[in-house]
Amino acid sequence: MLLSSDANSPYTLLLPLALILVLSKLLSLVARKIGLPQVVGLLLTGIVLGLIKMIDNQSIFTPFTMEGISFIAEIGVILIMFSAGLETDIKQIKKTGKEAIIITLFGIIFPMLLGFLVAFVLPGGLSKETMFRNLFYGVILTATSVSVTIATLKELGKLNSKIGTAIVSAAILDDILGVIILSVIISLEGAIVDGNGGNVGADIALVIGKTVLFFVLAFVIGLLLRKLFKMLSNKYDHHRRIPIFAVAVAFFYAYAAEKWFGIADITGAFFAGLILSGDKDTEYIEKKTDVTSYLLFTPVFFAKVGLTSLESFKDIDVSFILFGVLFVLAGMAGKLFGCGAAAKICKYSFKDSLRCGIGMMCRAEVCLICADKGIDAGIISESIQPFILALILITSFVTPVILKNSYRGEIGHDIEDIIAYINPEKARQDKLKAQ
Amino acid sequence: MLLSSDANSPYTLLLPLALILVLSKLLSLVARKIGLPQVVGLLLTGIVLGLIKMIDNQSIFTPFTMEGISFIAEIGVILIMFSAGLETDIKQIKKTGKEAIIITLFGIIFPMLLGFLVAFVLPGGLSKETMFRNLFYGVILTATSVSVTIATLKELGKLNSKIGTAIVSAAILDDILGVIILSVIISLEGAIVDGNGGNVGADIALVIGKTVLFFVLAFVIGLLLRKLFKMLSNKYDHHRRIPIFAVAVAFFYAYAAEKWFGIADITGAFFAGLILSGDKDTEYIEKKTDVTSYLLFTPVFFAKVGLTSLESFKDIDVSFILFGVLFVLAGMAGKLFGCGAAAKICKYSFKDSLRCGIGMMCRAEVCLICADKGIDAGIISESIQPFILALILITSFVTPVILKNSYRGEIGHDIEDIIAYINPEKARQDKLKAQ
At residue A434 the predicted structure's pLDDT band, cuts being 50, 70 and 90, is low
* pLDDT tops 90 at residue B65: yes
Yes or no, beta carbons of B15 and A70 under 8 Å apart: no
CA distance A290 to A365: 14
Percent of chain B residues past pLDDT 70, beyond the cut: 88
Residue at A364: amino acid letter: A
CB neighbour burial string for B251-269, b if at least 16 within 10 angstroms, e if fewer = bbbbbbbbbebbbbbbbbb
Q: Inspect the interface and report whether the beta carbons of A14 and B74 lie closer than 8 Å.
A: yes
DSSP letters spanning A165-216:
HHHHHHHHHHHHHHHHHHHHHHHHHHHHTSS-SS-HHHHHHHHHHHHHHHHH
Number of A:B CB contacts under 8 A?
A: 183
Hey, how many other C-beta atoms are within 10 angstroms of the C-beta on B316?
16
Give the ipTM of the model, two decimals please. 0.81
- Nearest CA to A184 out of A223, A152, A136, A225 is that of A136
* Secondary structure in 3-state letters for chain B: CCHHHCCCCHHHHHHHHHHHHHHHHHHHHHHHHCCCCHHHHHHHHHHHHHHHHHHHCCCCCCHHHHHHHHHHHHHHHHHHHHHHHHHCCHHHHHHHCHHHHHHHHHHHHHHHHHHHHHHHHCCCCCCHHHHHHHHHHHHHCCCCCCHHHHHHHHHHCCCCCHHHHHHHHHHHHHHHHHHHHHHHHHHHHHHHCCCCCCCHHHHHHHHHHHHHHHHHHHHHHHHHHHHHHHHHHHHCCCCCHHHHHHHHHHHHHHHHHHHHHCCCHHHHHHHHHHHCCCCCCHHHHHHHHHHHHHHHHHHHHHHHHHHHHHHHHHCCCHHHHHHHHHHHHHHHHHHHHHHHHHHHHCCCCHHHHHHHHHHHCCCCHHHHHHHHHHHHCCCCCHHHHHHHHHHHHHHHHHHHHHHHHHHHCCCCCCHHHHHHHHCHHHHHHHHHHHC
- DSSP letter at A296 equals I
Neighbours of A26 (CB within 10 A): 16
**From CA A386, how far away is CA A320, in angstroms rounded?**
11
* pLDDT at site B238: 56
Q: What percent of chain A has pLDDT above 70?
A: 88
Whether the Cβ atoms of residue A84 and residue A366 lie closer than 8 Å to each other: yes
| Residues A346/A355, Cβ–Cβ less than 8 Å | no
- Give the model's confidence band at A4: pLDDT under 50 very low, under 70 low, under 90 confident, else very high: very low
Question: How far apart, in whole angstroms, are the C-alpha atoms of residue B183 and residue B187?
Answer: 6
Q: In this structure, what is the dihedral angle of CA atoms B15, B20, B25, B27, given to the nearest 10 degrees?
A: 130
User: Quick one: pLDDT at residue A426?
Assistant: 62
Report residue A361's pLDDT band, with 50, 70 and 90 as the boundaries.
Answer: very high
pLDDT attached to residue B325:
93
Q: Identify the residue among B11, B29, B287, B296 best suited for mutation to test binding to A, counting A beta carbons within 10 A and taking the highest.
A: B11
Smallest Cβ distance to B14: which of A17, A265, A294? A265
Q: Are B23 and B306 in contact (CB under 8 A)?
A: no
CA separation for the pair B369, B78 (Å, rounded) = 10
From chain A, the residues in CB contact with B243 under 8 A are 295
The CA distance from A135 to A337, in Å, is: 19
Lowest mean pLDDT among A191-205, A220-234, B362-376, B396-410: A191-205
Of the candidates B331, B315, B318, B307, the residue with the CA atom closest to the CA atom of residue B387: B331
pLDDT tier at B410 (50, 70, 90 boundaries)? very low
Is the Cβ pair A74, B190 closer than 8 Å? Answer: no
The answer to whether residue B13 scores a pLDDT higher than 60 is: yes
Amino acid A300 reads V
Q: How many CA atoms lie within 13 A of A376 on its CB side?
A: 23
CA distance A180 to A156: 33
Q: For position A430, what pLDDT does the model report?
A: 60
Q: What is the pLDDT of residue B14?
A: 96
The three-state secondary structure class of A147 is: helix
Integer Cα distance of A287 and B29 in angstroms: 22
pTM (2 decimals)?
Answer: 0.82
Q: In sequence order, which residues have a C-beta less than 8 Å from that of residue A158 and are 6 or more positions away?
A: A164, A407
Judged by CB atoms closer than 8 Å, whether chains meet at B70 and A10 is answered as: yes
Tell me the CA distances in angstroms from B116 to A11, B137, B330, B346, B379, one per residue in order.
28, 6, 9, 26, 13
Nearest-angstrom CA–CA distance, B429 and A94? 49
Q: Do A75 and B295 touch (CB under 8 A)?
A: no
pLDDT-based confidence at residue B4 (cuts at 50, 70, 90)? very low
The pLDDT assigned to B125 comes to: 57
Mutual angle of helices A424-434 and A415-422, in 10-degree steps: 130
| pLDDT at position B293 | 85
Distance CA B410, CA B430 (A): 20
Please, are residues A9 and B378 in contact by the beta-carbon 8 Å criterion? no
Contact between B259 and A12 using a beta-carbon 8 Å cutoff: yes
The distance of Cα A80 from the centroid of its chain, to the nearest Å, equals 8
Concatenated DSSP letters for A365-398? HHHHHHHHHHHHTTSS-GGGHHHHHHHHHHHHHH
How many CB atoms are located within 10 Å of the residue B222 CB? 18
Bigger pLDDT: A415 or A334?
Answer: A334
Residues of A in contact with B67 (CB under 8 A): 67, 71
Q: Confidence band (pLDDT; 50, 70, 90) for A160? A: confident
Would residue A143 be called left, alpha or beta, if left means φ above 0 and alpha means ψ between -120 and 50 degrees?
Answer: beta
A25–B295 C-beta distance less than 8 A: no
Q: CB-CB: which of B265, B295, B378 is closest to A288?
A: B295
C-alpha to C-alpha distance for A264 and B5, rounded to whole angstroms:
9
Tell me how many degrees the CA angle B160-B28-B140 measures, rounded to the nearest 5.
65
Sign of CA dihedral A237, A239, A245, A250: positive
Cα A387 to Cα A327: distance, rounded to the nearest angstrom: 8
CA distance A93 to chain B (A): 31
Contacting residues of A for B5, CB less than 8 Å apart: 258-259, 262
Rounded Cα distance, A35 and B6, in Å: 42
Give the CB-side neighbour count of residue A91, counting CA atoms within 13 A.
5
Cα separation of A137 and B338, whole Å? Answer: 70
pLDDT of residue A409: 56
Residue at A34: amino acid letter: I
Among chain B residues, CA nearest to A264: B4
SS (H, E, C) A77-140: HHHHHHHHHHHCCHHHHHHHCHHHHHHHHHHHHHHHHHHHHHHHHCCCCCCHHHHHHHHHHHHH
B18 vs A251: CB contact, 8 Å cut-off?
yes
User: Closest partner residue to A194 among B1, B14, B240, by Cβ?
Assistant: B1
Length of chain B: 435
Asked if B12 and A255 come within 8 Å (Cβ–Cβ), the reply is yes
pLDDT in tens, A116-132: 999 887 776 566 668 88
pLDDT at B221: 95
* Residue B285: per-residue pLDDT: 85
Q: Minimal Cα–Cα distance from B247 to chain A, Å? A: 8
Band (A2; pLDDT cuts 50, 70, 90): very low
The beta-carbon neighbor of A18 closest among B9, B12, B252 is: B252
Residue A256's pLDDT is 94
Does residue A153 or residue A62 have the better pLDDT?
A: A62
Contact A12 B376 (CB under 8 A): no
Mean pLDDT of chain B: 83
Least confident window among A148-157, B353-362, B416-425: B416-425
Give the pLDDT of residue A78: 92
Q: Helices A241-261 & A200-235, crossing angle to 10 degrees?
A: 170
**Is the pLDDT higher at A341 or at A190?**
A341
Distance from CA of B411 to the nearest CA of A (A): 35
Decide: B254 and B266 in contact? Cβ < 8 Å: yes
Cα dihedral sign for B7, B9, B11, B14?
Answer: positive
pLDDT at res. A237: 61
Q: Tell me the torsion sign for CA atoms B142, B148, B154, B157.
A: negative
Chain A: closest CA distance from residue B158 (Å): 27
Distance of alpha carbon B274 from alpha carbon B269, whole angstroms? 9
What is the overall mean pLDDT for chain A?
83
pLDDT in tens, A366-411: 888 889 888 888 889 888 988 998 998 898 888 888 888 888 754 4
pLDDT band of B105, cuts 50, 70, 90: very high
